[in-house]
Amino acid sequence: MRKKFHSQAIINLFYIPAILLFLIFVVFPLIKGVFLSFTNWNGYSQKYSMVGLANYIRFFTDNNVGTAFINTIIYGFGSTFLQTVLGLSFALLLNHKFRGRSVCRAIIYMPVMIAPLIMGYIMYFFVTYDRGAINDILALFGKEAVDWMSDGTRAVFIIMLINAFQFVGVSMVIYLAGLQSIPTMYYEAASIDGVGPWQGLRYITLPMLMPAISSAVMINLIGGLKLFDVIMALTGGGPGYASNSLSTLVQRTYFGSENAGYASAIGLLTFLFIMLISNFFIKRFDKREVTM
Amino acid sequence: MKTESKNVWRTLLALFIAVVYLAPIYILICVALKSPSDVSSYWKFPAQINWTNFDTAIHEGGILLALSNSTFITVCSVFLIVICGAFAAYPLARRRTRLNKGIKSFILGIMMVPPLSILVSLYSTMVQIHGVNSYWGIIMVLVTFELPLSVYLYSNFISSIPRALDEAASIDGCGPVRTFFVIILPQLKPVTASVVILTGIHCWNDYQFSLYMLQKPSMKSVSLAISSFFSQTTSNLNAATAGALLAILPVILMFLFLQKYFIKGMVDSAVK
């Protein structure tokens, strides 16, 4: 008995390399980050001193943090909302059999392969003021050209749209897989009872898709809250600090303003914030699936 | 008859969506093929196709070097992600002790960590261990942050392999370690395809890690080469775009040929 236990436990050795990597590159930096967040370290010098809670007090009074915080929520929840609605619509459309649907699926999914950074640069040609592709279309309708990215709030929404546009394919593919797993006899039974297509969607499709929706929403939410590359490509967080996400703010505070201690504090609170949101949603969705 | 007219509408709608989704690629191609002095609308296909942008991207932008750097980084990272992930997943899927359950949820929790939240301490740690400006440094960081996805996919897959196979092997005198190599490992092919594709794309497209881990110009990854090309003050947008086109071409081509696997991988990672 004892021997058997030992010989079984030996396979635990298999996860040692993975655990080591996580300890060195995630856990250790996280602990070190807690320490650094109480200092005024500038990122390179040997000398620094402890400043107590100063960085945390600054966090809660810093307007740039407030903006980045709200933007992160818009990037996370705004894109997730759009990806859910559009992804579901695309999936419902492309679940029907008609010519060209598989080509269309592939085309919608293709941008997922493209680096978000490059997608940002491509979108520059659409939103730029001078000869911008969107302004060219506006001109066709006799409208005046708009400098899209000059206004902070508008820039935030455009970046959110771009992220949703690029990754809607992920949701669509998940929903298509979900739709295909719903037995058609449910719809047949419903149509015998005289249920219309909208009611079918409301009372059969959506409830049956709940597991797919919950995983897609989690994936989108985590992706949106981490948003970094597109922002760097399009605005670099500007104009001013208007379109920063918490991620780009950490990067700028560290490499731009050489305020490593403060950047650590922002990073840690960002980490806590995203962990809390993700866990909240995971619990919510788990409950929903059980009661279904 | 009714369904036929409905299908016409569906096709039209799908066509419209497809056009919207192809527009960015179309503009990318147009700009890449236009000479920098051509100031016509971005929507207009170049009257004269101009290949010099690609020359500039290759000779001044160092795109070819960046492509080979990225290939090297991606291949090494994916190799390690596959090995470490498959190994780690075996005990986590087969021995559901309290400890192992805790470790599994810890690993999955890392998927949610935005890497930039630990930027300061991760970067300063890398400086201390001389991992900055080295291939192993960027590879280790990429492997660490992609590993959770790999462990997740492998452990779900291994859980779906019947335990009876393990037991049969053990009756035949196979130890748990040999069971892994003889029974489990040969069955992991389909899920390995998913892991390679998903994490490979992430490594190839990475910007946030390479941005500060690879500062030496000779080590630039594709994303870095493109971004420095775009942000130069005397930027030649057409050549930068040609570079961007070269950077996405390999992934797009792979996607077109291996579409089925790409989509299966995505679905596997989302649905338990």
> In this complex, which of A108, A124, A271 lies closest to B117 when CB atoms are compared?
A271
> In this complex, which of B99, B125, B244 lies closest to A121 when CB atoms are compared?
B244
Contact B120 A113 (CB under 8 A): no
Residues with Cβ within 8 Å of A86's Cβ and at least 6 positions away in sequence, in order, are: A164, A168, A171, A172
What is the C-alpha to C-alpha distance for residues A170 and A181, in angstroms, rounded to an integer? 17
Residues with Cβ within 8 Å of B223's Cβ and at least 6 positions away in sequence, in order, are: A115, A117, A118, A229, B70, B205, B206, B207, B210, B211, B247
Q: Which residue in this structure is represented by tokens 């016509």?
A: B40
> In this complex, which of B114, B211, B227 lies closest to A271 when CB atoms are compared?
B114
Chain A interface test: which of B29, B30, B121 (most A C-beta within 10 Å):
B121
A4-10 contacts, C-beta under 8 A, 24 or more apart = A7/B175, A7/B176, A8/B95, A8/B176, A9/B95, A10/B175, A10/B176, A10/B177
pLDDT of residue B144: 93
> In this complex, which of B25, B42, B205 lies closest to A115 when CB atoms are compared?
B205
Who wins on pLDDT, A199 or A2? A199
Where is B33: in which H helix or E strand?
helix B2-33
Residue numbers in B near A118 (CB within 8 A): 205, 223, 226, 244, 247-248
CB atoms inside a 10 Å sphere around CB B93: 21
Contact B121 A251 (CB under 8 A): no
> In this complex, which of B87, B252, B270 lies closest to A174 when CB atoms are compared?
B270
Contact A36 B124 (CB under 8 A): yes
Split at pLDDT 50, 70, 90, the class of B81 is very high
Residue numbers in A near B270 (CB within 8 A): 170, 174, 177, 212, 215-216, 219
pLDDT tens readout for residues A117-127: 999 999 998 99
Residue numbers in B near A68 (CB within 8 A): none
Q: What are the start-end ranges of the H helices in chain A?
A: 2-9, 16-22, 28-36, 54-61, 63-73, 79-94, 101-109, 116-127, 133-140, 152-180, 184-192, 197-200, 206-225, 229-234, 246-251, 260-291
What is the C-alpha to C-alpha distance for residues A244 and A250, in angstroms, rounded to an integer? 9
pLDDT of residue A186: 86
What is the C-alpha to C-alpha distance for residues B24 and B43, in angstroms, rounded to an integer? 10
Residue in B133, B129, B137, B130 with CA at minimum distance from that of residue B216? B133
pLDDT tens readout for residues B214-239: 888 888 899 998 888 888 755 688 88
Where is B197: in which H helix or E strand?
helix B189-205
- Chain B: closest CA distance from residue A72 (Å): 12
Residues with Cβ within 8 Å of A214's Cβ and at least 6 positions away in sequence, in order, are: A285, A288, A289
Flag whether pLDDT at B1 surpasses 60.
Answer: no
pLDDT tens readout for residues B172-216: 888 888 888 888 888 898 899 989 999 999 999 999 999 888 888
Chain A residue with minimum CA distance to B206: A115
Taken as a whole, chain A contains a residue count of 292
Split at pLDDT 50, 70, 90, the class of B248 is very high
Split at pLDDT 50, 70, 90, the class of B150 is very high
DSSP state of A80: H
Residue numbers in B near A230 (CB within 8 A): none
- Could you give all domains of chain B from N- to C-terminal order, each with its CATH number? 1-50 (no CATH), 63-270 (1.10.3720.10)
b vs e for B208-244, b when ≥16 Cβ sit within 10 Å of the residue's Cβ? bbbbbbbeeeebbbbbbbbbbbbeeeeebbbbbbbbb
At B14, list the tokens. Answer: 């799908």
pLDDT of residue B237: 85
Size of interface A-B (CB pairs under 8 A): 278
Q: How is domain A62-257 classified at the CATH fold level?
A: MetI-like fold (1.10.3720)
Contact B248 A123 (CB under 8 A): no
